Structure 1
Amino acid sequence: MSTFEHEQVLIRTGRRSGLPVIVAVHSSTLGRAVGGCRLRHYDDWRDGLTDALRLSAGMTAKCAAAGLDNGGGKTVVAMPGGLALTPALRRDVLHDVADTVAFLNGRYATGPDVGTTPDDMTVIGERTGHVLGRPVDQGGSGDSSVPTAAGTLAALRAVGGHLYGTPDLKGRRVAVVGVGSVGEKLARMLAAEGAVLVLGDIDPAKRALSTELGAAWEEPEQALTADVDLLVPAALGGVLTERIVPRLRCAAVAGPANNQLATPAVADLLHDHGVIWVPDYIVGAGGVAYAVTVELRRGTAEDGLARVQAIENTVTDLLTTARTTGTTLAEAASELIELRLRSAAPAPAKESRSG
């Protein structure tokens, strides 16, 4: 890293599990930092640190763009490759996470992410109240994949309205690459809208979903380069590379997968090829927007859904700004985020002089 911009990074060895627990607080300028707890295998624990730094910065952008009064954070538990996570060890890990989060004394609240579930948040909640995303019957906001998928659908409607003059997705050709928790729900929503689907996933067992929904099935790379109107990356990041972009046959890319660009330069490459790219931190904000509204702001489920649906307006406004100013949507989004952060940042203290 050429610069270090995070407010605080805490790395502790879990006293129960013996595993590295990393919490990165990127920003609290807008309010308490929020971000999920990622539990996955890494070749080196420092790769987990890199993930925590990158993802927490992404959460700051996600919250700012969604109009939330929260900053970004992330928890990563870096498990060595091959480690079997038994139920007992999982519980120990989650309690180690809870103690690390509690140590920050409310500056940061965690939630579900890759490798964790709402039920895991209940276990974390046994030792700290700074947790989001517990099951609904336990007072939480539940499975974040549902509002994340709904927010992605809202973003796709905005893009459809911009490109084709209507947000109606009936008949639109849409490729969803990655049909895991979020991707599957989104595919079902799109099918209900009447979209013509291409699905792809590294797990061949997911092919059954394409049969159920009447969708075409392709290997992930073929799905990425399918002849469609809209491309939706919905799995892990880094799929948009300098090699793939020239082969894209879509008008726009809008998906919830984090960190879709292999390098920042790919955003300009997409623009040069005439492909609209809506940043993942805009598209994928539905889960955190819903959880924060329902759990931290004590809003109703309807309030949370309204916040999720507002993603359509956000994307529409950014598309209008980009067209008016002649910039990319990514540049318009960056300016929106910087404006929010600058407006909320405290003014620098004036130096007192004596004499």
Structure 2
Amino acid sequence: MQIGLYIHIPFCVSKCPYCDFNSVDGADQATMGRYLDALCAEVDALSQLPAVRDRAISTVFVGGGTPTIYGGDALGRLLEAGRQSLSIDPGAEITVEANPGTVSQEKLCRLRDAGYNRLSIGVQSLQARILERLGRKHSVEQGIAAVQNARVAGFENINVDMIHSVPGQSVKEWCEDLRQVVSLVPQHVSAYSLTIEAETQFGKWSRGGSLTAVAEETDAIMFEKTHCVLTEHGYQHYEISNYAVAGRECRHNLLYWNNEDWLAVGAGAHQHLDGERRWNVKSPDKYTTDIETKRDAVEGSERVSLSQRMGETMMLGLRKAQGVSMRDFGDRFGNYPMEVFRKEIDRLSLSGLVAVSEDRLALTPKGFRLANIAMMEFIN
């Protein structure tokens, strides 16, 4: 059975005010060098786990933070460490996240030559005013150039990350962003609605009254505009916030949404393997020291019960446009969704949030707009 591999790089040039990911800025070269060594050591340690032996890695995802704060050679070394320690499938999807301000044409060529075959570029907006509001350090021109240069470097699978519902953003500005994105012809577009998280700088500004979230009605309009524009240009809406041309869906993220197994290395990384979740310490410094001293930076772990696995499979599966396959669920757990969650499904169906067919349970258009309400039925 194949599994995925997630590698977390927490370093950034600067911390964006809306970001609640495990990321830090201001790291020096020595700190980053030690951290890279620690990642390679943890990958090697994972290869010794009995549950990992004889299992092929079908996807690799290097995320952050800003992985491309490292040079192309360093990221190439990281991927080579994975190949030396683990059985990475020859046809694996190998993604690296990139910030437009940290990728030159030369670096992109080095990444492609090293074996990365999918690039996820954090463009976020193609409006200078919105980039400034988001605290992004790259320019509109750098965002466009990153996509164009990636194609020249040989990347045939490019994702562009975009954010809507930014405080102060108009529907007109978002529609212009969408028009510019489709003109760049990426294979994949991730279009996320910004959520103001409490512990971020945006959260502090919001509590202080200096930042006002976009109205729910405006957010809903932007969501609908996203669907209309991208599907009109040939993208398939395959997950709440994700669109792809046929065959270019993110295979790594589908592992998450199908509630399958993946390995994870790096500070704060969460792993799911054979019914057990485990997570590493969040501090990059402590992570590095722990790996150097004991080749292990695990902070905690838990066994996932059968009822938890079933509920999480429903919750995550409903993120996908195709929803949950009744047959696949039954084959996996020995019970069908209607046998386990009839009350929840009936309630959601009566509310118009899900549609039930012979073999599928999927969100309706209304359900996509209220996805969190629908999905939480299977967790509570």
Common topology (TM > 0.5): no
Give 1 or 2: higher strand fraction.
2
- TM-score when scaled to structure 1? 0.30
